[in-house]
Amino acid sequence: MSAFERQPAAVLEQLAALRELDPPTHGGHVLSYVYDSGLAELDELAAAAIRAVQPVNGLDPTTFASVAVLESELVGFVRGILHGDADVVGTATTGGTESCLLAVKTARETWRAQNPDAGRPRLVAPTTVHAAFQKAAAYFDLELDLVPVDADGRVVASEVIRRLGGDVALVVLSAPSYPFAALDPVGEVAPAAAELGIPLHVDACIGGLVLPFWAEATGADLPAWDFTVAGVTSVSADLHKFGYAPKGASVLLQRGRDRQRMQYFATTRWPGYPVVNPTILGSKSAGPLAAAWAITQTLGTDGFARLAAACARGTAALVNVIGGIEGLRVVGDPVGPLLAVAADESVPEDRRVDPHHWADAVRAHGFVLQLQPALVQPDGTVLPPTTHLTITPVTEAVLGDLGTALVAGADAVRGVPHIDGTALLAGLPPLDPAHLDADTAWALLQGFGIGQGAELPDAQAPLVALIEALPAPVAERLLTELLGRLVEPRG
Ligand SMILES: *Cc1c(COP(=O)(O)O)cnc(C)c1O
């Protein structure tokens, strides 16, 4: 008799079938979330590395000495390409969000130590800063002071500097920002922050492993944004993005050991083993760390430079294609292999292409783009709805089909106006998110035609229009409900 209720082979077969539900994670058909180097050997290498450390507990480098070596060498590699000197130390984390959370936690502890009797510190950042910093501010109780950006997604350095003061625990700038690929003015803000003794984190989660090679890849001049800039106190860089590692790998670098020690949590005040954690998790996989290490060892800086060059060629080609589509425009002057596309307001309305209808139409041609809702900034200015594309080394190989899809998608929806979400709300009583219970929230979603079946609707434009129209706390509550229901046990 078997010890098993089901045969492993049958279970794996089912897993394979479930994976058919996913969009293709290789081959350049999904232009966000996944980062395909196009080098099958790297995927094999990562899988083998994960397998090699599968039973290890990444929690404790004193017990598992391999973990200490892997982390030290991975941090050293990233420090090298980000021009950190011997004063820069770092940690492998499970992802960009954890790196960002820890940068904020470090700054909060530092600020509290310096201001023992003061209240709640501020975190100053452009509105385009990754949502991970909103999460960090919420988790660690900082006031988020968001600085509006211009229509091209650029923040004015003096607007950031103007807000600096004794209650600011951290300034965050991006290299580049996720929504618009703007390279924030690190070199201009850093001296002012340093002068006031305020730490400056550069969020290079997406750019960290590709921007160091961008100037060479594109021939363009890039202002310095890494540890070569004196006032930069920490940098986050994700290995599971342009480091091509499986998900679960990022690095947070900090200038100065004393600063970095504030990142740790340590306690000997329980009857169990002493807990000394540089990161948020306790027991954790060493797999993504080992995979990221193996990939960086294998590629070396030259390998990363070559992949960055492929990204740069793909990006230039796509900018060209989109530039040739009547009714669309690339937002601002993106730095790095990502960009946002908006409707071109310089052409008559009936020639414009709504970026969300476009993304839905392009999806029908087999390419998945990412819809970004319009945003009202704190000063009342509005950032338009856009569609995001992340370009990876494989994009180049599918340029023909992708270009055709982008053009055909635009032709299919040219002149169709952006969905007015407020019309969807007609007749709805005012909603108080604090009193929206799970069943009411679910009923509302179903009233909007969302979530009836197990599957989400193919067209995302209506859902995003709803998000744009609803007050943010209500939208957040409804989306929480949607995501919560998605993973509830079925049947
Ligand atoms: C992806 C990203 C993050 C968050 O990283 P996760 O790995 O998704 O947790 C933070 N900042 C920027 C700029 C990013 O692109």
For the chain, give the longest Cα–Cα distance.
74
Band (pLDDT 50/70/90 cuts) for residue 450 is confident
Q: Which atom of ligand 1 is nearest to the CA of 247?
A: 7
Residue 127: phi and psi, rounded to 5, are: -60, -20
173 lines ligand 1 (CB under 6 A): no
Average per-residue pLDDT for the chain: 96
Task: List, in order, residues 6 or more apart from 464 with CB less than 8 Å away.
Answer: 356, 371, 373, 385
**Average pLDDT value for residue range 463-475:** 94
Please write down the HEC assignment for all residues of 277-301. ECCCCCCCCCHHHHHHHHHHHHHHH
Q: Which atom of ligand 1 is nearest to the CA of 250?
A: 7
184 lines ligand 1 (CB under 6 A): no
Q: Which domains does the chain possess? A: 48-296 (3.40.640.10), 421-486 (no CATH)
Task: List, in order, residues 6 or more apart from 283 with CB less than 8 Å away.
Answer: 57, 58, 59
Dist CA 264 CA 248 (whole Å) = 19
Please give the span between the terminal C-alpha atoms of the chain, in angstroms, as a whole number. Answer: 30
Would residue 202 be called left, alpha or beta, if left means φ above 0 and alpha means ψ between -120 and 50 degrees?
beta
C-beta neighbour count of 320 within 10 angstroms: 12
Residue 179 has pLDDT above 60, yes or no: yes
Query: Which residue's alpha carbon is nearest to atom 6 within ligand 1?
Result: 96
Dist CA 200 CA 169 (whole Å) = 9
Check if the beta carbon of residue 251 is closer than 8 Å to that of residue 75: yes
Tell me the three state secondary structure of residue 387. Answer: strand
Distance 97 CA to ligand 1 centre (A): 6
Question: Looking at the whole model, is its pTM more than 0.95?
Answer: yes
205 lines ligand 1 (CB under 6 A): yes
The per-residue pLDDT for 432 is: 85
Dist CA 59 CA 99 (whole Å) = 16
Residue 408 has pLDDT above 90, yes or no: yes
243-294-397 Cα angle (round to 5): 45
Check if the beta carbon of residue 235 is closer than 8 Å to that of residue 190: no
Band (pLDDT 50/70/90 cuts) for residue 413 is very high
203 lines ligand 1 (CB under 6 A): yes
At 203, list the tokens. 């969020």
Task: Report which DSSP code applies to 331.
Answer: -
Check if the beta carbon of residue 457 is closer than 8 Å to that of residue 463: yes
The whole-angstrom distance between residue 166's C-alpha and the CA centroid of its chain comes to 29
pLDDT digits (tens, 9 = 90+) for 97-138: 999 999 999 999 999 999 998 899 999 999 999 999 999 999
The per-residue pLDDT for 452 is: 66
pLDDT digits (tens, 9 = 90+) for 193-230: 999 999 999 999 999 999 999 999 999 999 999 999 99
Residue 455 has pLDDT above 60, yes or no: no
Task: List, in order, residues 6 or more apart from 12 with CB less than 8 Å away.
Answer: none
At 386, list the tokens. 């856009």
pLDDT digits (tens, 9 = 90+) for 314-342: 999 999 999 999 999 999 999 999 999 99
pLDDT digits (tens, 9 = 90+) for 13-60: 999 999 999 999 999 999 999 999 999 999 999 999 999 999 999 999
243 lines ligand 1 (CB under 6 A): no
207 lines ligand 1 (CB under 6 A): no
Residue 1 has pLDDT above 80, yes or no: no
292 lines ligand 1 (CB under 6 A): no
C-beta neighbour count of 166 within 10 angstroms: 13
Distance 449 CA to ligand 1 centre (A): 31
The per-residue pLDDT for 132 is: 98
**Average pLDDT value for residue range 344-351:** 98
325-330-331 Cα angle (round to 5): 150
Band (pLDDT 50/70/90 cuts) for residue 434 is confident
The per-residue pLDDT for 425 is: 86
Band (pLDDT 50/70/90 cuts) for residue 423 is confident
Dist CA 375 CA 151 (whole Å) = 11
Band (pLDDT 50/70/90 cuts) for residue 2 is confident
Dist CA 110 CA 262 (whole Å) = 7
Single-letter code of the amino acid located at 378: P
Express as a percent the part of the chain with pLDDT over 90. Answer: 93
Tokens 């995927």, residue located: 43
206 lines ligand 1 (CB under 6 A): yes
Task: Report which DSSP code applies to 322.
Answer: H
Determine the length of the chain: 491
Which residues face 173 on adjacent strands? 202
Residue 457 has pLDDT above 80, yes or no: no
Sign for the CA dihedral angle at 97, 98, 104, 105 comes to positive
Q: How far is CA 170 from CA 157, 250, 401, 462, in A?
A: 15, 20, 44, 37
Band (pLDDT 50/70/90 cuts) for residue 427 is confident
176 lines ligand 1 (CB under 6 A): no
The per-residue pLDDT for 301 is: 98
